[in-house]
Amino acid sequence: MATHRSPPYQHHLAPLRPSTLGADPSLEAPPLHLLIGGVSGSGKSQLAAALAQRLGIYRVISSDTVRQIMRALTSPQQMAALYASSFEACAVLASPGNAAPERVMAGFRVQATQVALGLQAVVERAACERAALIVEGVHLVPGLLPQPRRNVLSVPLLLVVRSADEHRRRFLARAQETFGQRAAARYLGCFEEIRALQAGLEAAARELRVPVLESDAPELLPRALGLIERAATSGGDTPTPPTPNDPPYRATTP
């Protein structure tokens, strides 16, 4: 008979594990709420899926899903920004002008502020049920992150693609993987706007000390796990953003 072995990460992420059956519920560790931000093509969905599998988290939702639900409850006349892509939301601004970086960010912030209402409801529900949760999406903006009123371990991070060439390549690869359903031409046609949006998000993250991880750097998953571990052991304080010289988290068996 095969011997059951616990996932190796559990020995390193002990603060994230629930208490043993029958223990005082008040002593249980707070549920993990992982908030992964980043622009289109940054690898948010892939990292969220990998972390969900590694950590055994079953609730994963994208901010675009929340935006789509909010569209069903509103109209373009009520919330016009919800009906545009994140990098095209500046088109709904009343003031004229081209898609300069400041204008791109201003239009996006209108949309992100609207989506934040739905995201707040999502995290509140999960917190009420003491459920671990991963939310990923461009709308997870430093300064607009959802904050549940109940005790959770909230770990925000921002993914960026440092190399513009790699960022372009990802859009081309994604178009092939989805058989053209996510056409590369649309994203590449707004590539400068997407890069401007990333720059604005990264500036906000660094100002508010939200950790920034480069998704085109090696060992992304180990570094993300290390970030979560540091947040857990620090009692939920915002972890110090990693540097290129930080050793990555490495899971080992006892």
For the record, the structure tokens of 248 come out as 């990555």
φ/ψ (deg, to 5) at 58:
-100, -15
Q: Categorize the per-residue pLDDT at 253 as very low, low, confident or very high, splitting at 50, 70 and 90.
A: very low
Q: Measured between alpha carbons, how far is 81 from 123 in angstroms, rounded to an integer?
A: 22
Domains of the chain as residue ranges with CATH:
31-231 (3.40.50.300)
Identify the burial level of 6 via C-beta atoms within 10 angstroms of its C-beta, where 0-12 means exposed, 13-18 middle and 19 or more buried. Answer: exposed
Q: Categorize the per-residue pLDDT at 187 as very low, low, confident or very high, splitting at 50, 70 and 90.
A: confident
Buried b (16+ CB within 10 A) or exposed e, 76-100: eeebbbbbbbbbbbbebeeeeeebe
Nearest to 88 by CA among 226, 217, 197: 197
Tell me what the pLDDT averaged over the chain comes to: 79
Alpha-helical regions (H) of the chain:
44-55, 63-73, 101-128, 164-177, 184-189, 191-207, 220-233
pTM above 0.85, yes or no: no
Q: Categorize the per-residue pLDDT at 27 as very low, low, confident or very high, splitting at 50, 70 and 90.
A: low
pLDDT digits (tens, 9 = 90+) for 51-99: 999 999 999 999 999 999 998 988 888 887 776 677 666 666 656 555 5
Give CA angle at 206 (134, 98), nearest 5°.
95
How high is the pLDDT of residue 85? 73
How high is the pLDDT of residue 6? 34
How high is the pLDDT of residue 10? 43
